[in-house]
Chains A and B, each alone.
Chain A
């Protein structure tokens, strides 16, 4: 039989073993095609030309995606190789030359790759229509993304994946070729030694994680340098996680093993000892999984948050169709008249009054207010605005910010997306009076209009505001809401003729900012996309790692069955043991991601509770499915 025929037959016979691997490969190929196709899509290219960050983001994502895929393929390939070592040994015993067996295995793994492309590519093309529809929705654009099969994308995908598969085939070939018969036949027999305990390392690991958490949680309150703080949190937590699984967990388990009262109870003795011994080989994968899980949950939650963040911020920056400054009744009447004569319909006008004052913080070294100037307005004005915009959660916000005497509420200006400064509880002087900052929020008021849009807003009580009226010049901004604001250029020029000061006092529809949020939408989409592949690849890597442990466990369970372990007890042991190696790192990862998200929340001054919860719930759901599948397969491998 020729090598090729033999390889084909082997692949057919072993398809059951490859089931999960092939499934993940097909999904990977399909998603990768979509990803590449998106980058060659003309509408997308136009979009990317306007926003360079999109191109960079998609390039980074593509790179990370490829790395994860290679990582996954490398590990699972190793698993299959281990599983079939005995088979290779038998062929060697039968007198087939190692180079010929190597050839067969190389061809087999290449055929497997080809199969995944043959199935995955058409599937990917089929899904690409759906994908672009989703993308269109995600970036809230009504642009049609046409369905075209991108030959460039197909070509690129085939080249990249063929390269990987050829590389893996070569790896298998050389590994078989240099293999020793005796090692192959005794493949699963391996002597393990007792893991050594390293108390300082374990201790340092926990300290590093806690330290990283403390920095992360206090990033805003302590006003740490943002880049420095996030980098040190990242490094400390990553390093700490490695030490946690490498040393701290070993110490904990050895303590449990020494505790006779805990250990000698039903099947505990088995999984405790197994996990303890495995840790030495497994801890790197466990730590890696914890970190990848943390990034996945964070990426996923942030992606979801971007969407909400963008939606929220569009209204912050552009609350009105257009606005103008004027306090003269006649001007207002004329503007209304012009609107009624135009093709637009007037929905409403929000009239807000405020002062511009000089501010000075008493104990702050950073400058908080642009040019040390800020807007001062009254509680009623904010209330009126939120009512006008029908702003969500307005009752709760209004309840929270109602200032008492000598208190102000700080409202971040519309021009700044997120401020790292923490002003709550600070004292500042305005117009010769000292106020304490009671609350720190972000709500729409003026919108991101020239000059005023950069100024922070201080909300004081109506009584104190009225007192200021005598000494300061009040400014009135009319926020106008009309139908079809996108096509209001003609109308705006007419309004500018009416309003004294012309275009200096009239602020047209702010469309360019909205565009920036479309970019956020793309980030949102890329983030979701990456998360999905991350989850799939990370879990599958661990999946195969744990299943290769099952190969080592087989003899052990045959013996345990003989000394009277029931199926139920074996099941219990397997489920706990798999949980220790699969769920534990993911729980650690989820805790990491909660801290990471709290950092983002602090910096952006928003609450993403819903997004984090949904991210974690979805993640937990996927883990549960993987966990049950994995435990079931593990059980199948050790108990027949």
Chain B
């Protein structure tokens, strides 16, 4: 565990909503460090601030106070013009509701980030071929999103997120809309990406099963970090620990499962 490079460093991140008088603090001085190649899960009950934290770390939202660095770059002070390029080159996104463009084939959807960067066409085609094989969606490349199952769509999204070799992938409830069988398909994909490409993955989830794939889990409650669990490689053991942790934290059981 020596010489690990920090990829994300969040320092005293605070997020406030509302105006003076009725301020709601979604995040209260949260600090978090994530190393290169980690697969970090963020869990917590509804309203605990997990999605807010993810959005701030991924440049979608801005923190009220505090600093966030990705790959050594300070993103809280980044200029509007640079943000687009930064997102394109450093970050990949996977969301619950797939976010594929309905009007394009899967191949075009995956090619999008590269065409925006004006990458050479031969390279685009080669990369799509390679990645789609890894994700197991090669036969679906020339279909349109409405012809695919939920799991296939989500794998296509992961494919798109990976296409320009991002340093970090942010995933917000990536299995939220999938049944358990399709969920494990997608999570296996994440695991493979994490291992093979050594891409850092940060995933928000409220599903203990999904979280059990992670190498480390951070628990949030009321805008503060409330605990952490590290995996020893045994998924089942981690799953039990997570359930215990959630019970201790006191969220309602059915919400967390």
Q: Which A residues are within 8 Å of any B CB, using their own CB?
A: 191-194, 260-261, 263-270, 273-274, 276-277, 556, 559-567, 569
B111 — which chain A residues lie within 8 A by C-beta?
Answer: 264, 269
The 9 listed contacts between A and B (C-beta, < 8 Å) are A192-B102, A264-B111, A264-B124, A276-B103, A277-B102, A560-B101, A563-B88, A565-B84, A566-B85
A267 — which chain B residues lie within 8 A by C-beta?
Answer: 115-116
Question: From residue B225, how far is it (CB to closest CB) to chain A in Å?
Answer: 25
In the bound complex, do residue A564 and residue B115 qualify as a contact, i.e. CB atoms below 8 Å apart?
no
Q: With an 8 A cutoff between CB atoms, is B216 at the interface?
A: no
In the bound complex, do residue A261 and residue B121 qualify as a contact, i.e. CB atoms below 8 Å apart?
yes
Known: A269-B111, A562-B87. 17 other contacts (CB 8 A): A191-B102, A192-B103, A260-B121, A260-B125, A263-B115, A266-B115, A267-B115, A270-B101, A273-B101, A556-B102, A560-B101, A562-B60, A563-B113, A564-B116, A565-B84, A566-B81, A567-B80
Q: With an 8 A cutoff between CB atoms, is B219 at the interface?
A: no
In the bound complex, do residue B84 and residue A277 qualify as a contact, i.e. CB atoms below 8 Å apart?
no
B121 — which chain A residues lie within 8 A by C-beta?
Answer: 260-261, 264
Q: With an 8 A cutoff between CB atoms, is B104 at the interface?
A: yes
Binary flags per residue of B212-238, CB closer than 8 Å to A gives 1, else 0: 000000000000000000000000000
Q: With an 8 A cutoff between CB atoms, is B146 at the interface?
A: yes
Q: Kindly identify, within residues 83 to 113 of chain B, every residue whose CB is under 8 Å from any CB belonging to chain A.
A: 83-89, 91, 93, 95, 99, 101-104, 108, 111-113
A270 — which chain B residues lie within 8 A by C-beta?
Answer: 101, 112
Q: What is the chain A residue whose CB lies nearest that of B92?
A: A563
In the bound complex, do residue A273 and residue B108 qualify as a contact, i.e. CB atoms below 8 Å apart?
yes
Question: From residue A263, how far is it (CB to closest CB) to chain B in Å?
Answer: 7
Supposing A563-B88, A566-B85 touch, asked if A265 and B118 sit within 8 A by C-beta, the answer is yes
Q: With an 8 A cutoff between CB atoms, is B114 at the interface?
A: yes
A265 — which chain B residues lie within 8 A by C-beta?
Answer: 115, 118
In the bound complex, do residue A562 and residue B115 qualify as a contact, i.e. CB atoms below 8 Å apart?
no
In the bound complex, do residue A269 and residue B112 qualify as a contact, i.e. CB atoms below 8 Å apart?
yes
Supposing A193-B146, A269-B108, A273-B104 touch, asked if A564 and B84 sit within 8 A by C-beta, the answer is yes
Bound CA–CA A562/B118 (angstroms): 18
B146 — which chain A residues lie within 8 A by C-beta?
Answer: 191-193
A567 — which chain B residues lie within 8 A by C-beta?
Answer: 80, 84
B81 — which chain A residues lie within 8 A by C-beta?
Answer: 566
B103 — which chain A residues lie within 8 A by C-beta?
Answer: 192, 273-274, 276-277, 556
Q: Kindly identify, within residues 23 to 81 of chain B, every residue whose CB is under 8 Å from any CB belonging to chain A.
A: 60, 80-81
Supposing A264-B124, A563-B87, A564-B85 touch, asked if A269 and B104 sit within 8 A by C-beta, the answer is yes
Q: Kindly identify, within residues 122 to 165 of chain B, every residue whose CB is under 8 Å from any CB belonging to chain A.
A: 124-125, 144, 146, 160
Point out the residue from B80, B108, B160 that lies within 8 Å of A563, measured CB to CB.
B160
A274 — which chain B residues lie within 8 A by C-beta?
Answer: 103
Interface centre among B81, B116, B121, B125 (most CB of A within 10 A): B116
Question: From residue B84, how far is it (CB to closest CB) to chain A in Å?
Answer: 3
Question: From residue B73, how far is it (CB to closest CB) to chain A in Å?
Answer: 14
Point out the residue from B93, B102, B108 that lies within 8 Å of A562, measured CB to CB.
B93
Question: From residue B148, how far is it (CB to closest CB) to chain A in Å?
Answer: 12
In the bound complex, do residue A565 and residue B116 qualify as a contact, i.e. CB atoms below 8 Å apart?
yes
Q: Kindly identify, within residues 141 to 196 of chain B, every residue whose CB is under 8 Å from any CB belonging to chain A.
A: 144, 146, 160
Question: From residue B55, how far is it (CB to closest CB) to chain A in Å?
Answer: 10
Q: What is the chain A residue whose CB lies nearest that of B89?
A: A564
Bound CA–CA A565/B112 (angstroms): 10
Bound CA–CA A563/B144 (angstroms): 19
In the bound complex, do residue A563 and residue B93 qualify as a contact, i.e. CB atoms below 8 Å apart?
yes
Top 4 nearest A-B pairs (CB, nearest first) are A564-B88, A566-B84, A564-B87, A277-B103
Bound CA–CA A564/B59 (angstroms): 10
Bound CA–CA A191/B60 (angstroms): 28
A565 — which chain B residues lie within 8 A by C-beta?
Answer: 84, 88, 116
Interface centre among A265, A277, A562, A564 (most CB of B within 10 A): A564
Supposing A265-B118, A266-B118 touch, asked if A563 and B112 sit within 8 A by C-beta, the answer is yes
Question: From residue B78, how far is it (CB to closest CB) to chain A in Å?
Answer: 13
Question: From residue B126, how far is it (CB to closest CB) to chain A in Å?
Answer: 12
Interface centre among B60, B85, B104, B125 (most CB of A within 10 A): B104
Q: What is the chain B residue whose CB lies nearest that of A569?
A: B116
In the bound complex, do residue B99 and residue A564 qualify as a contact, i.e. CB atoms below 8 Å apart?
no
Q: What is the chain B residue whose CB lies nearest that of A274?
A: B103
Bound CA–CA A270/B118 (angstroms): 14
Bound CA–CA A315/B111 (angstroms): 69
In the bound complex, do residue A263 and residue B108 qualify as a contact, i.e. CB atoms below 8 Å apart?
yes
B95 — which chain A residues lie within 8 A by C-beta?
Answer: 562
Bound CA–CA A270/B95 (angstroms): 20
Bound CA–CA A471/B88 (angstroms): 95
B104 — which chain A residues lie within 8 A by C-beta?
Answer: 269, 273
Point out the residue from A193, A269, A556 that lies within 8 Å of B115, measured CB to CB.
A269
Bound CA–CA A562/B98 (angstroms): 13
Question: From residue A187, how far is it (CB to closest CB) to chain B in Å?
Answer: 16
In the bound complex, do residue A264 and residue B115 qualify as a contact, i.e. CB atoms below 8 Å apart?
yes
Bound CA–CA A255/B116 (angstroms): 21
Bound CA–CA A191/B148 (angstroms): 13
A263 — which chain B residues lie within 8 A by C-beta?
Answer: 108, 115
Bound CA–CA A270/B115 (angstroms): 10
In the bound complex, do residue A556 and residue B101 qualify as a contact, i.e. CB atoms below 8 Å apart?
yes
In the bound complex, do residue B99 and residue A562 qualify as a contact, i.e. CB atoms below 8 Å apart?
yes
Bound CA–CA A314/B234 (angstroms): 101
B85 — which chain A residues lie within 8 A by C-beta?
Answer: 564, 566
Q: What is the chain B residue whose CB lies nearest that of A257?
A: B108
Bound CA–CA A566/B86 (angstroms): 10
Interface centre among A192, A264, A556 (most CB of B within 10 A): A264
Bound CA–CA A188/B121 (angstroms): 34
Question: From residue A261, how far is it (CB to closest CB) to chain B in Å?
Answer: 6
Point out the residue from B83, B86, B88, B99 that lies within 8 Å of A559, measured CB to CB.
B99
B60 — which chain A residues lie within 8 A by C-beta?
Answer: 562
B80 — which chain A residues lie within 8 A by C-beta?
Answer: 567
Question: From residue A155, how far is it (CB to closest CB) to chain B in Å?
Answer: 51
A276 — which chain B residues lie within 8 A by C-beta?
Answer: 103
Question: From residue B151, how far is it (CB to closest CB) to chain A in Å?
Answer: 19
Question: From residue B11, how far is it (CB to closest CB) to chain A in Å?
Answer: 24
In the bound complex, do residue A266 and residue B102 qualify as a contact, i.e. CB atoms below 8 Å apart?
no
In the bound complex, do residue A194 and residue B118 qualify as a contact, i.e. CB atoms below 8 Å apart?
no
Question: From residue A477, how far is it (CB to closest CB) to chain B in Å?
Answer: 74
A264 — which chain B residues lie within 8 A by C-beta?
Answer: 111, 114-115, 121, 124
Q: What is the chain B residue whose CB lies nearest that of A561?
A: B84
Q: What is the chain A residue whose CB lies nearest that of B164?
A: A564
Question: From residue A555, how far is it (CB to closest CB) to chain B in Å?
Answer: 8
Q: What is the chain A residue whose CB lies nearest that of B111?
A: A264
Bound CA–CA A562/B92 (angstroms): 9
Bound CA–CA A268/B121 (angstroms): 13
Bound CA–CA A194/B106 (angstroms): 13
A266 — which chain B residues lie within 8 A by C-beta?
Answer: 115-116, 118
Question: From residue B1, how far is it (CB to closest CB) to chain A in Å?
Answer: 32
Question: From residue B105, how far is it (CB to closest CB) to chain A in Å?
Answer: 8
Bound CA–CA A270/B103 (angstroms): 9
Bound CA–CA A561/B61 (angstroms): 13
Question: From residue A549, how far is it (CB to closest CB) to chain B in Å?
Answer: 11
Q: What is the chain B residue whose CB lies nearest that of A566?
A: B84
Bound CA–CA A623/B49 (angstroms): 49
Q: What is the chain A residue whose CB lies nearest that of B113?
A: A563
Bound CA–CA A560/B101 (angstroms): 9
Bound CA–CA A192/B145 (angstroms): 10
Supposing A193-B146, A266-B118, A269-B115 touch, asked if A559 and B87 sit within 8 A by C-beta, the answer is no
Bound CA–CA A238/B12 (angstroms): 67
Point out the residue from A191, A564, A566 that lies within 8 Å of B113, measured CB to CB.
A564
Question: From residue B189, how far is it (CB to closest CB) to chain A in Å?
Answer: 18
Bound CA–CA A560/B108 (angstroms): 13
Q: Kindly identify, within residues 198 to 219 of chain B, every residue whose CB is under 8 Å from any CB belonging to chain A.
A: none
